[in-house]
Amino acid sequence: MTNILEKAQVNNYLEMVKESSKQNKIIDVHLHPIEVVYNNFGYVRNVHNRSIYSINKTQYLAPQTSKVLLKRPYEKSEQLYNDKFTYMKIKHVYKHIGRDVVRDHMKLSGVDVAILLPVESYTDSKDRQIERRKT
């Protein structure tokens, strides 16, 4: 059985968070302003917005809500598929990075303050990452 939060439900939850933030500051203490798992996407300054860096020449669009597929446990046989899907998903999520991207995400999610700490990339070696992508 697939568990999905429809867009209206997502918006409702975000509105509850924003309503709560009128009384309490919402602080994100685990914010990744850049991709830190693979750390190999090769960003260049975006031609449409000079404060944003992108992995391709697509125009940056501010984030919007959508329906959300809630995670489910997966079988061991799905591990390879899941690893490749995770790589593609991370590449999509971190297609654009920069000050405006962080601000837009904070605004959408109702976060008032974000603590950006330097994060070392995943300890997996680059060679192992490359080999895993080949399979």
**pLDDT, mean of residues 78-82:** 67
Per-residue model confidence (pLDDT) at position 34: 81
Percentage of the residues of the chain whose pLDDT score is greater than 90: 34
Per-residue model confidence (pLDDT) at position 77: 64
> β-strands 68-69, 96-98: how paired?
unpaired
Global pTM reads 0.73
Chain-wide mean pLDDT for the chain?
82
Coil, strand or helix at 73: coil
Domain edges within the chain: 4-134
- Contact assessment for residue 133 and residue 92, using Cβ atoms and an 8 Å cutoff: no
Kindly report which listed range (16-30, 86-100, 108-122) carries the lowest average pLDDT score.
108-122
Per-residue model confidence (pLDDT) at position 58: 87
Q: Outline where DSSP puts E strands in the chain.
A: 4-5, 27-28, 44-45, 52-54, 68-69, 96-98, 113-114
The C-alpha atoms of residue 118 and residue 36 are separated, in whole angstroms, by 10
Radius of gyration of the chain from Cα atoms? Answer: 17
